[in-house]
Amino acid sequence: MATEKETSINPVANGHSTNTNDQTQESSVPFIRKLAFGCGHVFNDLAASMWFSYLLIYFNKVLNFNSVLAGYLMLAGQICDGLSTTFVGIESDRINGCCFLGKRKSWHLVGTFCVLLSFPFIFNPCITCDNEPDSIQLIYYISFILVFQFGWANVQISHLSLIPELTKNKHERVSLNSIRYAFTVLSNLAVYIIFWIIFNMNVGEKLGRKDSGKFELLVFIVTGIGVFFSFTFHILSPEKMYSTPVAAENKEQEGLLSCTQSIMTWKDWWYEPQFYMIAVIYMATRLFLNISQIYLPLYVLDTIQLNKKYIAIVPLVVYIFSFLTTLIMKMVNSTIGAKMTFVIGLIISLSFSIWILFIPINSMQVFGAAAFNGIGGSVILITSLSLTTELIATNTESAAFVYGSLSLVDKCANGIAVVVIQHLLAMNTGNCCGDCLCDNRLILFVVPGGAATIGFIFLCLLGPQKIGVRKRTKLYVPYTQNTPTESSNPINNQQPNV
């Protein structure tokens, strides 16, 4: 009997997976359930599309807000989002669900209500202080932004944390990430198409205060669509009501779990080098995507001086190519592996940053660069999320903390980058090729291009390693009906024969 015990425990002690053959060969997630899962982040995606694409344009061009203060609005939102994701990550792993919902969907529902009650106010003039100085209006808008970002973080982390719980098959996880990103792309397409329809009625006029009502209409349409998809997610996407070691013990007592399982608390992740490497890779990916999304419309308006309708059409092209790319991501990842796929995405992304430097005024070359941005951004985002799920592996008990920590780094980096850029733009206006003629070119070259380079460097550091192998683990050994035992060397523990 001692020999049998050591045979079942040794794989875990060596850092390898202890899943049974049934778990390894887990059947695929039904397609309908995948679609229902994808609906869960649509409201966030619609809101994020407006937040990143049109926040600075709305405050600078429509409300005539100070450009630096507009940058601080985004910084406040990003920092709040980052801190909230970490808090939600820890609490979502620790606290069970409520109102007959699992712990992930409970936080998702709270976040949805927060977004619903705050987001529309961000793209509407100040209700009681429309004529007040920018500093007074800043306080008004920040209050709604903080509630919005807290809710956005709730939805994001709870939705991401469902992926490792839905399946342990890494190819199915890639598929879920692809579907999730496909819904992100479709959400962005919806925003840009609606924006184009609304603003196409007076294409010859410059963007200004008179367009405030159009942004109000856009934000209310977006909110209505988002609420519908959130409702669909909660109705059609059930969640397992167990995800803690206690529940795992119950499964063992039922004969469903018969092997040793490694567990990771949120504190254990700080000792994992791969955790930091993948955090930097994810941060670089989001920095490339978000800075491109924020400053590409400004590049279209101010640098190559196209008509205002193109601030909807150019991003539309980006997301059309993003959507087409998601259709083949599962096949590409399973064929050449996540790391090589990420390298290909980085090469395409760098091509966008280089091309953007050489596009002349009023040129349609911007559509070619937009296609490169869509393809490259789609590849690196889906792959970075796949690397994260590989890092988590079977440790779904602390998955929300991992996603929350990665999001904290991402949000802070993006917020700081935007504020620094806005300060530089304010300093250089009128001193560089005529207003913002070359500033936006350099922004889209240096920041996204630099982020892609950083991502490549850390991918090279990660390259020789097998993702998901732990440097430090705790072991949960469900061998009796007593309280679970944690041990760093379970072989030496005295256990009764099974």
Residues 17-53: pLDDT tens digits? 444 444 444 457 788 888 888 899 999 999 999 998 8
Tell me the CATH number at 320.
1.20.1250.20
- The radius of gyration of the chain's CA atoms, rounded to the nearest angstrom, is 24
Distance, in Å, from the CA atom of 409 to the CA atom of 414, rounded to the nearest integer, reads 9
Distance, in Å, from the CA atom of 386 to the CA atom of 326, rounded to the nearest integer, reads 13
CA 478 to chain centre: 35
Q: How far is CA 143 from CA 82, 119, 122, 412, in A?
A: 16, 11, 10, 18
- What value does the mean pLDDT take over residues 327-353? 89
Residues 181 and 289 in one domain: no
402 domain residue, yes or no: yes
Mean pLDDT over the full length of the chain: 79
Residues 168 and 295 in one domain: no
pLDDT band of residue 484 (cuts 50, 70, 90) is: very low
Minimum mean pLDDT among 61-75, 133-147, 193-207, 381-395: which range? 193-207
- What value does the mean pLDDT take over residues 278-287? 93
pLDDT band of residue 91 (cuts 50, 70, 90) is: confident
247 domain residue, yes or no: no
Residues 234 and 270 in one domain: no
- What value does the mean pLDDT take over residues 153-181? 82
Q: Are 237 and 38 in contact (CB under 8 A)?
A: no
- What value does the mean pLDDT take over residues 310-333? 86
Residues 73 and 131 in one domain: yes
pLDDT of 365: 92
Minimum mean pLDDT among 62-66, 102-106, 340-344, 492-496: which range? 492-496
Residues 197 and 310 in one domain: no
Question: How many domains is the chain partitioned into structurally?
Answer: 2
Q: Which strands, in side-by-side order, build the sheet including 485-487? A: 261-263, 474-477, 485-487
Whether the per-residue pLDDT at 104 is higher than 90: the answer is: no
pLDDT band of residue 258 (cuts 50, 70, 90) is: very low
11 domain residue, yes or no: no
DSSP collapsed to 3 states, 164-206: HHHCCCHHHHHHHHHHHHHHHHHHHHHHHHHHHHHHHHHCCCC
198 domain residue, yes or no: yes
Residues 210-234: pLDDT tens digits? 888 889 999 999 999 999 999 999 8
Whether the per-residue pLDDT at 305 is higher than 60: the answer is: yes
pLDDT of 241: 54
Tokens of 498: 């099974």
Residues 143 and 196 in one domain: yes
Higher pLDDT, 437 or 61: 61
Residues 336 and 282 in one domain: yes
Residues 198 and 319 in one domain: no
- What value does the mean pLDDT take over residues 169-193? 84
12 domain residue, yes or no: no
Residues 187 and 325 in one domain: no
Minimum mean pLDDT among 113-127, 162-176, 188-202, 345-359: which range? 162-176
pLDDT of 342: 92
Residues 85 and 48 in one domain: yes
253 domain residue, yes or no: no
SS3 content of the chain, % helix, strand, coil (to 5): 75, 0, 25
Residues 101 and 156 in one domain: yes
pLDDT of 410: 87
Higher pLDDT, 437 or 179: 179
- Domain residues for the domain of 167 are 31-240
pLDDT of 423: 84
pLDDT band of residue 248 (cuts 50, 70, 90) is: very low
Residues 222 and 343 in one domain: no
